[in-house]
Amino acid sequence: MSMLKELLSLSLGSILPLGAALCVVFSLVSWLIDPLRSVPGPPLARFTRLWYLYKIYQGDFERTNVDLHKKYGPVVRIAPNEYSIDDVEAAKIIYGHGNAFVKAPWYWAWMPPDPDKASLFADLNPHRHGVQRRKFASAYSMSSLVGYEPFVDNCSCLFVSRFHEIAQTGRKVNFGHWFQCYAFDVIGEITFGKRFGFLDMGVDKEGVFGAIDSRGSYSTYVGIFPKLHNILFPLLPSTGGHGYVAGYTKSQIASREALLKDPKSQDRDGPPDFVSKFLALRAEDPEKMTPSDLFTICQSNIGAGSDTTAITLSSVLYHLLKHPDTYKRLQNEIDAGIAAGAISDPITFKEATQLPFLQAVIKEGLRLHSATGLPLSRVVPPCGATLAGQKFPAGCTVGINAWVAHRNTSVYGADADTWRPERWLEIKEHNNGANVERYFFAFGMGSRTCIGKNLSLLEVSKLIPEVVRRFEFVLDDETTVFNFAEMSITNNIRDLLTITEDRENNLVFEKNVSVPLKDSPLPVRCNVYRPLSQSADEKFPVLVTYGPYGKDIHYDNFFAKSFSEVNPEHKSKYSAWETPDPVFWTSKGYVVVRCDERGLGQSPGLLDTMSRSTSECFFDVVEWASEQPWSSGKVGLLGISYYAGSQWRVAARRPKGLAAIVPWEGMTDYYRDRCRHGGILSNDFIKFWWNRQVVTNQYGKPGRAASKWGEDTAEGDLPEDVLMQNRNDQNIDNEKNKFLDDTYYASKEFNLEDIEVPVLSVANWGGILLHLRGNINGYKWAGSKLKYLRFITGRHDLPFYYKEEVEVQRSFLDAFLKGDDRVGWSTPGKVAPVSIILRKGNVGFNNAEAEKVYERREEPEWPLEGTQYTKFYLTPENTLSTTVPFVGSSTISYEALGNLSSPQLVQFISAPFEADTEITGHITAHLNVSLTPDSTATASQKDIDLFVTIRYIDPSGKEVHYTGTAGDPIPLAKGWLRVSLRKVATDHPRHSEYQPYREYRSIDVQEVKPNAIYAADVEVWPTNVIAEKGGRIVFEISSGDTQGSGIFTHTNVKDRSKNIFSGTNNLHFGEGIDNYVTLPIIPKR
C-alpha cells in the first residue's frame, strides 16, 4: 500500500518516463527469454508491431519483404512473435491439407465481430470453413465455368466497345480503372445475372471502388492490432459506397426470391447465375443454405472477386506493354489461331486455355504481381513446428508472402525477378509443373485456396486476347496510363468565337463557342443565346441541346413546309429543327445553348451518333454550361426526337448541374425502338435519316453553304477519304450487327434506372414506329422520384411549339430551374403522374384543329389503374373471339417476305363492341407459327419474321387512320418479331406479362426448323382508342411491312434473305394451340 501511495503521489512528468522505462524493461526481458531471439530481422520489429504497420502503410511492404529475405535468409522476423518464411517444404507444412495451422488473428479485421457472419476468406475456424466451402464449391468448379461464359462475353464485348470509342478520341486511359469496371460488371452478371453498369457509365458509381479500397485498408491496418477491431468496427460507414454493395446485394436476392414465389413466373431462361443456384439449394434444404449464407457469399463475390481480378488484368497488360516482344508474340499466337479457325469471336475459355503462350503470359502476370502482398499468416499449432530448419513454438505467427515465394530463384530460376513468360513453357516442357505449383501462391495455398480462382482465370483468359487482338497501345511511363493512337484526322483548331448584341431580339448571340472536353483535345462548338441583361453579373438557368442537325442550319432550310406551320411565337432568324427557339426562351429568362454534336457542323472529331462517347461529350457540355459566369448552375434539357433521345443517355450519367429533362418524343432503346424492331432491321428510315440529315452536315463536308445546309466548316473542308475515316456509318453498322451483345449495339446501352433528375416524358400516340415505346419505358424505368408521362397527338414536328404545350414545358422547367413552381410539379402527388389524351371518333389525320376534340384525362399510374388484360382469340374463320374457340387442327397460310408494295397478310376482325370501350396500354400477341420453305430457302437455318398490326374500324365500317410522324395515315399499333429471337427473359426485372422482355443476344438465337410449330409472344407497341359502340378491332399478321409503315420499313435483302425466309408462313390452330391478342381494356371512369 505504501508503494502504491508513493506512485500515486508522483507527478505526470515523473510517471511517463517511468512507464516508458518499464515498457523497455519488459521488451528486453521478453527478448531475453524469447526462444526465437536469434531469428534475424529489422531491430524495431523485435519490440513493436508498429514497424510492420508503418511499412504496410508506406504501400510497398511486398518489396520490403522480398529485400528482407535477400538480406537475412529464409526466416525473417517482421513483428514480435511473427515471422515471414521463404521455403518450399515449409509451404507444404504450413498450408497442407489437414495440418493444424489455423489463420492468424490478422483475419479478424476482415469480418464482422460475430464469427457466424465470417466469409470464407476470413473464417478462422477450419471446421466451419470446411462446412461452408462445401456448400458453395460446386458453383465455382471448373465444370461450372462454361455456364458463366455468356455473362463474361456480355461484359468483354462491352469493354471492347468502350475502348473502340476511346481509341477514336486519342485520349489517355487508366486501364486499372477500366479493368475494375469490367471485373465488377462481370461478377455482377455471374452473381445476379445483371451487371452493375460501371462499363456503361465509365465511372465509379456510388463510390464503390473507393469504398472497397478503404475497407481493405482498414482491415489490413487494424489486423495488425486485431483487438481494436471490436471497438472500431461499429464506427465504419454504412452509407455511400460501403452501403451500396450491401444494399444492392440484398435487393437483388429479394427480387429473385419474389420472382420465384410468383406463380406466374417461369423458370429462369439462360445460364444460371449464382443467386439462382443458391436459391435452388436453399429450396432443397433451408437449414443448409441460410439467408445469411446467401448474403455473405454474394457480397464476398463482389468485394473479393472484382478487385483482385482487376489487379491481375492490369499486371498482365502492363508487363506486355513494357516488353513489346512478348506482346507481339502473343498477338501472333492469337492471329494464327484466328487464321486456323481455332479462335471464335469472342474467344471461348476452352480456346483460350489451348493457347500456350497466352496461359504463360497470364501465369507470369500472376507471379510477378500477385494481388496480395502480405504473408498469408497462420498460427503454429500446439505441437510446434520446424520450418526452414528453425523450430517454432506453439502460438507463433508464420506465413509466406506470394511476392517472396515467386522470386525464389531455386524454384523460378536466376531471373526470377524479371518478366519472362517463356519460363512457364520451359517448366511444362521439363515436366516440372507439379513442383512449381507447390510454390505458386497467386490464389493462396492448400485448403484455403481462393474459391473464386477459376472465375478469375475465366475472366482474364477471355478478356486479354480480346484486347490484344484488337488494339495497339503506348505506355505512358510517367503516369502508368495507356495512350491510344489518334484515330480521327482534323484541321488545325482555331478560335472561331464571335459575339453579337442583338437588341432587336433582346439577346446576346455568342457564335461558335468552343467547349473543352475532359478526354479529348478537340472542342465541341455551340451557339449561346443569352438574355440581354442590365447587369453583367445576372445569372440565368440554361437550356441545352446537343445533336447532329446543325446549330447553324435554319429551320426553314431544313424543312420549309414544317417551318411555315410553326406557331409564330417560335419563329425567328435563330430557329432550328426540333430545338427550342432562342428568342422565345431568352425572353422568358433562359440562356439557350445549342451544340453541334461531335464530328458535325463546326465540331471536329469522330461522327458517331447515339454512341456512348458522344454522350460523354454531351455530359461535358452540360457541366460546362452549369459553370459559366452567366449560368445559375441549373441546366435543363428540352428538344424533340434526337434532341430528346440524347437527354435520356446523358441524364443517366448524372452530370453536375443537370436539374430536369423534357424528352419530347424521344426513344430510349437504340436497338428495340429504332434499329431492329423485334430483331428485324428497320433499314429504310436509317438510310433516309443518315443520308439526308446527318452525313450532309459532317464536319469538313464541302459545299454545305452552297446547298443552303448551314455554313461551310470554318476551319476548312476535308477530303472524302478522311471524312469516311472520321465517321461510323449507321447504314453499315446496323446492317453488319444483328444482336444486342454485338460490340456495336452493346456500346449504345445505358441504364434508365440511373436517371435521378425530374423527368417530363412526352409521348405521341402517333409515334408507333420510333419514339412512343421509348417515352413510355423511359417514364416507367427512370430512377427519378419526380417523373411525369404526358401523351399528345399530331405530327412529330409541330405540337412541341403549340402554345398550350409550351406552357407545360415552361411551367415544368420553371419549377426545377428557377424554383418557381406555379403548378405543383415539385410536390409529389400534386400533379398527376400520367396525363393521357383519348382518341375517340374518326377526325381524320394530319388535322391539328380536328384533333382538339380529343379529351384529356389524368391518371395516377402507368399502366393505367385497373387495366383488364383481355384475350381476343384468333379463329380459323378469321374472327376474334373473347372466348376460347373449340377448333380442330387447321392452318391459315400466307406467303413469306411480303413488303409494302406486295403485302402478304391475314386479318382477324372482332365482333362489334356493344358499348364504348377504352383500350389504353400495352398489347401482346401469342401466335403459333411455322415455315414451309420453298426451293429458294437453301440455308440450313430457317426463320420467320412476324409483322402484326392493330387497326380500328369505326361503326360505319371505315378504318380510322391517325396522324403519324410525318402526317401520314397510320393504324392503331404495330409490333414485330423475328421468331429465332423469340426467347423471353422472364427473370429480367423489366419483364412483365403485358410487355415481354427480350435480350436479343447472339446466345438467345433459337432454332427454326421447316414445318415445326413455334409459339411466339409478340410485343405490340402501346396504343389508345375509345372503340365506339359498333366499332371493331382488326388484328393483322403479315410477313412484311403493310399500310401505316411510312418510311419505317424493313427491306434489307441481307437481313431478310430469301435463302432463310422464303416460303409459306403458317398460323396453326387446334386443341391446346391457342392464338390470341391481349388488349388492355380500361374500366369506365
Q: DSSP states of 906-968 as a string? A: EEEEEPPPSS-EEEEEEEEEEEEEEEEE-TT--SSS---EEEEEEEEE-TTSPBP-EE-TTS-
Residue 588's region, left for phi above 0, alpha for psi from -120 to 50, else beta, is alpha
Strands (E), 465-517: 474-476, 481-483, 498-502, 507-517
Query: In angstroms, rounded to a whole number, what is the distance separating the alpha carbons of residues 425 and 498?
Result: 65
Q: Residue 1013 has what pLDDT?
A: 98
- Nearest Cα residue to 86 out of 534, 328, 416: 416
The one-letter amino acid at 725: Q
Phi, psi for residue 273 in degrees, rounded to 5: -90, 180
Answer yes or no: is 697 within a domain: yes
Q: Indicate whether 450 and 503 sit together in one domain.
A: no
Query: In angstroms, rounded to a whole number, what is the distance separating the alpha carbons of residues 609 and 716?
Result: 22
How far from 84 is each of 73, 354, 819, CA to CA, in Å? 10, 37, 64
Q: Indicate whether 947 and 1054 sit together in one domain.
A: yes
- pLDDT tens for each residue of 284-327: 888 888 888 888 888 888 877 777 899 999 999 999 999 999 99
How far from 947 is each of 765, 968, 1036, CA to CA, in Å? 19, 19, 8
Query: In angstroms, rounded to a whole number, what is the distance separating the alpha carbons of residues 665 and 344?
Result: 40
- Nearest Cα residue to 215 out of 84, 122, 140: 122
Q: Indicate whether 808 and 919 sit together in one domain.
A: no
Query: In angstroms, rounded to a whole number, what is the distance separating the alpha carbons of residues 996 and 988?
Result: 10
For the cut 90, the answer to whether the pLDDT of residue 743 exceeds it is no
Query: Stretch 777-786: mean pLDDT, rounded?
Result: 98
Count of CB atoms within 10 A of residue 317's CB?
A: 23
Q: Residue 209 has what pLDDT?
A: 82
Answer yes or no: is 196 within a domain: yes
pTM above 0.75, yes or no: no
How far from 89 is each of 41, 363, 380, 479, CA to CA, in Å? 21, 22, 15, 40
Residue written as grid cell 461558335? 512
- Nearest Cα residue to 221 out of 377, 50, 100, 372: 50
Query: In angstroms, rounded to a whole number, what is the distance separating the alpha carbons of residues 1053 and 1059?
Result: 10
**CATH code at 887?**
2.60.120.260
Answer yes or no: is 463 within a domain: yes
- Nearest Cα residue to 82 out of 216, 226, 217, 218: 226
The one-letter amino acid at 532: L
Query: In angstroms, rounded to a whole number, what is the distance separating the alpha carbons of residues 813 and 543?
Result: 9
**CATH code at 512?**
3.40.50.1820
For the cut 50, the answer to whether the pLDDT of residue 480 exceeds it is no
Q: Indicate whether 976 and 1022 sit together in one domain.
A: yes
Answer yes or no: is 895 within a domain: yes
Domain range for residue 918?
868-1082
For the cut 60, the answer to whether the pLDDT of residue 914 exceeds it is yes
- pLDDT tens for each residue of 666-700: 999 999 999 999 999 999 999 999 999 999 999 99
Q: Indicate whether 472 and 558 sit together in one domain.
A: no
| pLDDT tier, 487 (very low <50, low <70, confident <90, very high otherwise) | very low
Average pLDDT, whole number, for the chain? 91
Phi, psi for residue 250 in degrees, rounded to 5: -60, -40
Contacts (Cβ under 8 Å, ≥6 apart) of 8: none
Query: In angstroms, rounded to a whole number, what is the distance separating the alpha carbons of residues 342 and 901?
Result: 45
Tell me the three state secondary structure of residue 480. Answer: coil
- Nearest Cα residue to 473 out of 462, 484, 457: 484
> pLDDT higher for 146 or 511?
511
Which 8-state DSSP code applies to residue 1016?
E
For the cut 90, the answer to whether the pLDDT of residue 908 exceeds it is yes
| pLDDT tier, 266 (very low <50, low <70, confident <90, very high otherwise) | very low
Q: Indicate whether 451 and 533 sit together in one domain.
A: no
Query: In angstroms, rounded to a whole number, what is the distance separating the alpha carbons of residues 751 and 760?
Result: 18
For the cut 80, the answer to whether the pLDDT of residue 501 exceeds it is yes
Q: Indicate whether 955 and 895 sit together in one domain.
A: yes
Query: Stretch 651-664: mean pLDDT, rounded?
Result: 97
% of the chain exceeding 90 in pLDDT: 72
- C-beta of residue 446 within 8 angstroms of C-beta of residue 389: no
- pLDDT tens for each residue of 1003-1039: 899 999 999 999 999 999 999 999 999 999 999 999 9
Q: Residue 194 has what pLDDT?
A: 82
Q: Indicate whether 525 and 459 sit together in one domain.
A: no
How far from 974 is each of 131, 562, 924, 1020, CA to CA, in Å? 56, 26, 10, 6
- pLDDT tens for each residue of 964-1006: 999 999 999 999 999 999 999 999 999 999 999 999 998 899 9
Alpha carbon 275 to its chain centroid, in Å, reads 20
For the cut 60, the answer to whether the pLDDT of residue 1083 exceeds it is yes
Count of CB atoms within 10 A of residue 460's CB?
A: 23
Query: In angstroms, rounded to a whole number, what is the distance separating the alpha carbons of residues 928 and 981?
Result: 14
Q: Indicate whether 512 and 462 sit together in one domain.
A: no
* SS3 sequence of 219-244: HHHHCCCHHHHHHHHHHCCCCHHHHH
- pLDDT tens for each residue of 607-654: 999 998 899 999 999 999 999 999 999 999 999 999 999 999 999 999
Phi, psi for residue 681 in degrees, rounded to 5: -65, 120
Query: Which of these three, 482, 515, 537, is where a domain ends?
Result: 482
For the cut 50, the answer to whether the pLDDT of residue 479 exceeds it is no
Query: Which of these three, 482, 512, 539, is where a domain ends?
Result: 482
Q: Indicate whether 981 and 953 sit together in one domain.
A: yes
Q: Indicate whether 927 and 1014 sit together in one domain.
A: yes
Query: Which of these three, 482, 507, 525, is where a domain ends?
Result: 482
Alpha carbon 644 to its chain centroid, in Å, reads 20
How far from 631 is each of 34, 383, 590, 634, 803, CA to CA, in Å? 71, 74, 9, 7, 27
Q: Indicate whether 1055 and 925 sit together in one domain.
A: yes
Query: In angstroms, rounded to a whole number, what is the distance separating the alpha carbons of residues 1019 and 61?
Result: 59
Locate 521 and state its grid cell: 483535345
Which class for 233: exposed (0-12), middle (13-18), buried (19 or more C-beta within 10 A)? middle
Looking at the 3D structure of the chain, how many domains does it have?
Answer: 3
Query: In angstroms, rounded to a whole number, what is the distance separating the alpha carbons of residues 682 and 299?
Result: 42
The one-letter amino acid at 591: V
For the cut 90, the answer to whether the pLDDT of residue 549 exceeds it is yes
Between 453-470 and 356-368, two packed helices, what is the crossing angle to 10 degrees?
120
Answer yes or no: is 489 within a domain: no
**CATH code at 477?**
1.10.630.10
- Nearest Cα residue to 85 out of 380, 295, 312, 356: 380
Phi, psi for residue 108 in degrees, rounded to 5: -55, -40
Answer yes or no: is 520 within a domain: yes
